Structure 1
Amino acid sequence: MLDRTQMPEFGKVESIDLIEPKVHHLSNGLPVFYINAGVQDVLKVELVFDTGTSTANKLLVGSSTVNLMKEGTNKRSAAEIAEAVDFYGSYLQAEVAHDQSSISLFTLNKHLKNTLPTLAEVYSEAAFPEREFETYVLQHQQEMLVNQQKVGYLGAKAFSAALYGNNHPYGRSAEVEDYLKLKRQDLVDHHDQEILSRIKYILVAGRTNEQTLPALETYFGSDKRLPIPEHAMETNGESVKTVHVQKDDAVQNAIRVGRILFNRNHSDFIGMQILCTVLGGYFGSRLMSNIREDKGYTYGIGAGMVSLQHSGYLTISTQVGSDVCQAALNEVYFEIERLRKELIPISELELVRNYMLGSILKSIDGPFHLASKWKMYLEYGLGIDTHHDLIHRIKTITPERLKALANQYLQQDDLTQVTAGQPLS
């Protein structure tokens, strides 16, 4: 009989196999990465563009263009497009990040021939109808007005600016009045000059069959492809070390602490991921144990590494009661100092290893998760060796190496501190 008074032993993850995508080039040279996986007869077709919010020459243009592509074409209205895909149980989804963006079709395999033409039409013939554009602008203006009352939003915005500067593509952020400056023609121009010329690849995941690639050839293989030019990125200015955003009626303060570091291509990125997990990357992390469980200052606090195409940074974020903001900051720096001065106990490191390996298993469970994983790797020109290296580093990194990383990258004088809310007491 099972003894429920005894906790089961941890099961160690010995290996994690990652299905690699196959590569096919359409007649025009456009790469198609396809992953034949899963048990359900569903398919995701994602068009990935080498342009995002940081590459547009005007604030809001990059995100607005991609989000409005499916809201009307030269042939059909937004309602007709929605009805065309919904009839087959399918849907379209737009995603926009700093350095790239995409639009995806989710569909049953048997309906690909009926739904793929709509994806192709949305990509090549987006019209950005004036009515849809005005509705979008009004809606997002109102959302921003609401967000400007939230200390979390104010803190995140100020943190990016403090790290990179207000004029840097990674540091700049929009204001409400920027929506008033946005014109429909801006979106048309961005679509014609950036989206159409900067399709990087097509990523397909699900139950592919012998009809998948010919269908993609029909709708995407004949367009003339231009060489994708490199987007110039300014060098980072000097980060501001301390910023406070005043909000007198706040009952909570937002906290952001971090610094510019590097992206996934750097040899220390994986080590810093592991160190950040120890610090604040899971529920039993040091920051959670101290600031939530012991002190009761917050419901949640996290630390992590953020990778961008031309940079990367470490961030610690939380929201606490305004009256304990300074006390919470003191505890954040206390936990960072512990990482610099003390070796992480083996038992704690083993727990982190198990957590991270389990998280990786979860992140590749199913074809769509696999596609997201490979999309991340492809953005940085990485391959299967990176996956194997990640597993190896998690399993073998030592407390001594983590302490060395903490001393190299977590010196308090190098950190930027941003708070939003009531004045610090």
Structure 2
Amino acid sequence: MVIPFAGGTSVAGHLDCPLGERPVLSLKLERMNRLLHLDKTSRLATFGAGTPGPQLEAQLQAEGYTLGHFPQSFEYSTVGGWVVTRSSGQQSLRYGRIEQLFAGGRMETPVGRLDLHTLPASAAGPDLRELVMGSEGRFGVLTEAVMRVSPLPGHERFHALFFPNWDAAEAAVRGMVQDRLPLSMLRLSNAGETETNLTLAGHANLIAWLERYLGWRGCGEGKCMLMLGVTGTAGDAARALRQARRLAGRHGGVHIGTVMGDKWRANRFKGPYLRNALWERGYSADTIETAVDWPRVKPLMEAMEQAARDAFAATGERVHAFTHLSHLYGQGCSIYSTFVWPTADGGFEPNMERWRRYKGAVSQAIVRHGGTISHQHGVGRDHAPFLLAEKGPLGMATLAGLCRHFDPKGIMNPGKLLQDGSRWGHASLEANAADARG
């Protein structure tokens, strides 16, 4: 069996090694890390699939370009990993998700090489790029990725705004994205995450002053913070900001400038490191994300947090849950929830069982509210039990048929996407998935 390994940042079990008698090869791609070709006329850049985010941006920016794809795992994740897990960067509102950035490439499969030629558009049948995006190593190994790049922007700033409550904040950001304001990022925190962020910000005196000011402006208890990005020429950015502030004002939004935005930008990739620091202090942390149409956003967000609280409360435990919307579309948005709870005594097994119980409960809530089981983290092994509810029997049979076509001997990353190969440690998740499907 072959498990492709690049940045190693997966949080969904993409790299789990199945137990069994078959030998397993971990295929490292770290030496495929160069800009192979830059077509400035078409703005296409070809990279080795193992190129990590910082090296990719450094090589592009030396030529005056950027990909603009900045997931939280940016410092270690790779362009190939972004493609095969359908990644989304923090500024997807300007640059697009990986679907908009991936123009073509090359994948080596057990039955031959699949070349995806670059075309601006095509009506020649189904787009074969879709077979590679989200394939998670099941069909083969992506070795080269041709990406659509952009010139470096002349101006970029991140602004903080506060709203009196969730309903006002959601209406404002929905209006901004449906009106197609030329913003690069909208990141809306619910009341729980807003309070958490302000508590962790430090500078107690300044935060106390901010709280008083916001209360005077109508943003007291239950307020929600929006981080808004403007990117482009200075003139375009200024116009976009004026439009956004005008719309926000109609919903009670209060603009407080770029100080908190500068702080966010400086720390934008530090979240994953916080998990280890929390563990050393006796706490566990995890994230679960999804996407859904606008009418279901608030109900699903609340259901996800409540499902986690109920799962922990069943054994007399507590969890701190909070959420933000990180990627917005005219149709709906992603929902990204974080959960923090005290680590259990007794080592690995009790903590793993606690994780399975809460993970299954939140995933059930997602399925029952019609959300995708993953907006940006991919399926891997952890989400595979819930994929049937989203794809349906015919869709799952189609995926299985593609696996057999590209990989007739079943050697490529088994157990991911489909629940084939050896399965271990996920019986409770599978039971929860069956219950959620009814």
| TM-score, normalised by the number of residues in structure 1 | 0.29
| TM-score, normalised by the number of residues in structure 2 | 0.28
Question: Which structure: greater helix fraction?
Answer: 1
Q: Which has the higher contact order (CA 8 A, sep 6+)?
A: 1
Q: Which has the larger radius of gyration?
A: 1
